[in-house]
Structure 1
Amino acid sequence: MEFEAFEIFVSKPRLARYLISCSNSQGRAMKLYAANIRVAQAFYPILNLFEIFLRNEINEKLSNYFDDQAWIINQKGGFMSDSSLGPKYWLKTQIVKAEINLKGKVAAGNLIAEQTFGFWTSLFEPRHYKLMSGVIIKCFPNKPRFVNRNSIAVSLKDIREFRNRIYHNEAICFIGTTIDFTQAIKIKKELYDLLVWMNANLMDFVYPFDSIDSEIENALSI
């Protein structure tokens, strides 16, 4: 496809950064755009698996803590309605929205699956974390001693923001207008650290899906 036609479909503003980073070479800009997509694609299974593992581990810990497999329903009137969270009660609102979306098929398992990644990561924010006595730190039994709630929350925030950039087709190959995958490499390390801290054996399942390094290497050779 000719660059002019490609530009119409992708948009000039979106491609401008690629052109600048490639010294206005239209051919290189198109190749870099495609390479960015391939790197994002390589992250997708790792991000997807991490989200599934994390939410299910949190669910297990909270089910045990509240001695209630339906805690996600019953805690709407529990810690999710604590006065310290007022006036918006964001977690409770997310559950109510999910119940409406499920149109009568409301069960704890359905509600667990319906929640966004942001719902689960927000549980590590101080206002929510303390209402559960910090029990969800036990999701990471292998973490180093110096790693605390705050450091995990920061990593989760970084991962969530990076994930959202990928899911919204934003570039992950730049720092400014320089081709640079430093942040992507950092996010991969954070993902792997958290996975190992959950359970080192998870890596046996994750590794076969990982083509991140090779796709970054290919992108940097453009």
Structure 2
Amino acid sequence: MNWNDLERLFSPARLGRYSAARAGDTTKAALDYTYNLQLSEAMMPMLNVLEIALRNGIHTRLSALYGREDWWETWVADTNFNWQNKEVAYAKAKLNRRHEPQTPDKIIAELTFGFWSSLFNTQFQHVLWKDLRLVFTRCPKHQRKRHNISSALNQIRDLRNRVFHHEPLLWLTPTLIQQHSVGVMVINWLEPDLAVWLNTQDRLPTKWAEWNITSD
């Protein structure tokens, strides 16, 4: 497919960033766009592993803290959790629309990465952190601070949103490979064996190296 067809189908605004980066060389720009697709795909294993392990780890800790699997129900009258309560209500509404039961497992699966990362916000320092820090038992003690965990998760959340909204990943600051490394670091904090397993599925470093060779 030629560049004009790509512009017609994807819009000049979307492809303009690629063309500008290659000084108008549309052949190289089209190759960059292809690599961006492949890098987005290659990000999925890390994002998948991190999000699922994170939410299950949080669920385990909060279930123990509140003594019930539907721990979010204890927040209903607490104004500190207004935003989180809205997210839970939205998750329940989606299940209702699909005529699915509102079991704890179903609700957990519907809640967004933004919901899980929000539990490490400053406002929950004295409410949740004492228990949630135990999700990251393999994080070195000098790094296992709420603000460090929150910063890493927010960075991954922003990256996840870029991937899912099909945005350019080639020219991020920090670079895509650096942000990917943050995700792998968090997975190591959760469970090092999981990071080892991910490495057998993770094509992002190889694909990133390929693109860097072509971009020289």
Provide TM-score, normalisation by structure 2: 0.91
The Cα shift of 1:102 comes to 1.3
Where in structure 2 are the equivalents of 1:156-195 lying within 5 Å? Answer: 156-175=153-172, 182-195=174-187
1:31-76 deviation line (CA, Å, top 9, x unaligned): 000001111111111101110000000000111111112213x223
1:154 partnered with 2:151: yes
CA contact 1:196–1:203 (8 Å) conserved in 2: yes
Pairing 1:140–2:136 present: yes
The residue identity in structure 2 corresponding to 1:164 is N
* 1:67 and 2:64 aligned: no
Shift of 1:205: 2.1
Cα shift at 1:218: 1.4
Report deviation, 1:220: 1.6
Structure-2 residue corresponding to 1:76: 75
Match runs of 1:1-222 below 5 Å: 1-72=1-72, 74-77=73-76, 81-83=77-79, 85=80, 89-103=82-96, 105-147=101-143, 148-175=145-172, 182-222=174-214
Within 2, Cα distance between the matches of 1:136 and 1:171? 33
Q: 1:123 touches 1:129 (CA, 8 Å); kept in 2?
A: no
Alignment partners' CA distance in 1, 2:7 and 2:183: 34
Tell me, yes or no, if the aligned pair for 2:129 and 2:146 is still in contact at 8 Å.
no
Structure 2 counterpart of 1:27, which letter?
T
User: 102-111 vs 159-168, which deviates more?
Assistant: 102-111
Q: Contact between 1:142 and 1:197, CA under 8 Å: does it hold in 2?
A: yes
**RMSD of the TM alignment (CA)?**
1.6
Query: TM-score when scaled to structure 1?
Result: 0.89
Match of 1:178 in 2: none
* Cα distance per residue 1:138-188 (max 9 Å; x no partner): 11011112211101100101100011000000001015xxxxx85212212
Distance 1:108 1:128 in 2: 22
Aligned pairs, number = 210
Worse overlay, 5-14 or 51-60:
5-14
Percent same amino acid among aligned pairs? 26
2: CA distance, partners of 1:32 / 1:206: 26
Q: CA–CA distance in 2 between the matches of 1:134 and 1:126? A: 13
Write the distance in 1 (CA, Å) between the matches of 2:153 and 2:128.
Answer: 18
Tell me the CA shift for residue 130 of structure 1.
Answer: 2.5
1:133 CA displacement: 5.0
Secondary structure of the residue that 1:144 maps to in structure 2? coil
CA offset digits 1:99-140 (Å, max 9, x no partner): 222116111111111100100000000213432253111110
Give CA deviations for 1:186-211 in whole Å, capped at 9, x if unaligned. Answer: 21211111111111111232111111
CA gap 1:38/1:96 in 2 versus in 1, 3 angstroms = same
Gaps of 5+ in 2: none
